[in-house]
Amino acid sequence: MQPTPESVLAVLADFPEGVSLPRLAKRLGVRASTLLRALAPLGEAGAGWLSVQVQDDEWRIRLTEAGRARGGRMLTPDLPPLPQTQQRVAVRRVRQGHVQPASDDLLAEEVPVALEYNGISHATLLATPADLEDFARGFSYTEGIIDGPADIRGIDVQSTAEGLVVQLEIATAREVRLKERRRALAGRTGCGLCGVESLEDVQRVLAPLAVHAPLSLGVLSEALAGMRAGQALHEATGATHAAAWFDSRGRLLCLREDVGRHNALDKMIGATLRAERVDGFAVVSSRASFEMVQKSVAAGIHTLVAVSAPTALAARLAHDMGLLLLGFSRGQSATVYTYPERVQP
């Protein structure tokens, strides 16, 4: 069944820079061949509501001025609202062995978030429903799906009854690489570790980091003191992790929160991908796992500071990759696990 002109224009209104034919067909729930028949009378040779351009061997469809004007007079289908980051609940607190009267408490929300690349379902994670475009950029980069932000042509967040779907449109070459990776994984016996299919896929092949400027302990102390003030969701709920980026003088430039520590790091990395990252260091309010170190190296982060301890595998990877790694970083105290010569008073 062909989509109606109204549905086509309503969906295209969500993509001011245009959208590829496969992604538009996916959003409308039809085959590409069916969609082409529906688009023909709407194009420049017909109603003139949309234009078709070829970019990197891809068809990209976008609304014309006439199409935007026409679409503005049509009703867009109602979508479920995006969930809130926290929920208020009634609780009974126990103090000194006594149950107190009912009172309110705030809980951090976590929802299933599915990531799709050019209509291909790739992963579903539980995450805080905030800063999801940053999350999509950071996850795509640290997992090696894209080589840089220019590989992402568009990001769309859709709310469904089951959760959230983040739809990314990526360059054709990156889609081909993703499909090849998925084909390589098909048929292997999964080890169940870290969401990968085999043990050799746990540690990716990454280039070691170049030697970097030293870290001042005085600057780190100031950064740690200022980090907590930016954790608004943690202050309200006590249930979220944070990842922050500080410049070399200890000024907070970016902070993201999430119920998952990996998600928080991906969100922070994704946010700093939007512009050239200022020289500095990363701080996470959690332990430093192997995956946290690997994501940091993949993102070109030279210094990772954790509030809690790293794992032994994380410390070995940090040493091999040239990453300065600190743990138990609180106040004016810290433990240096790699490259102590790069730490100054």
What is the distance between the alpha carbons of residues 263 and 242, in angstroms, rounded to a whole number? 9
Of 262, 305, 300, 248, whose CA–CA distance to 282 is shortest? 305
Q: Which of 32, 173, 185, 191 is catalytic?
A: 191
What is the number of alpha carbons within 13 Å of residue 116 lying toward its C-beta?
16
Which DSSP letter does residue 299 get? T
Q: Which residues of 303-336 are buried (b: 16+ CB within 10 A; e: fewer)?
A: bbbbbeebbeebbebbeebbbbbbbebeeeebeb
Contact 326, 304 (CB under 8 A): yes
Residues in a beta bridge with 113: 125, 164
Q: What is the DSSP letter of 147?
A: S
Q: Which of 45, 32, 269 is nearest to 142 (CA)?
A: 269
Record the tokens describing residue 4, joined without a space: 């109606």
Provide the CA 177 distance to its chain's centre, in angstroms: 19
191 is catalytic: yes
Helix (H, G, I), strand (E, B) or coil at 324: strand
Active-site residue list: 191
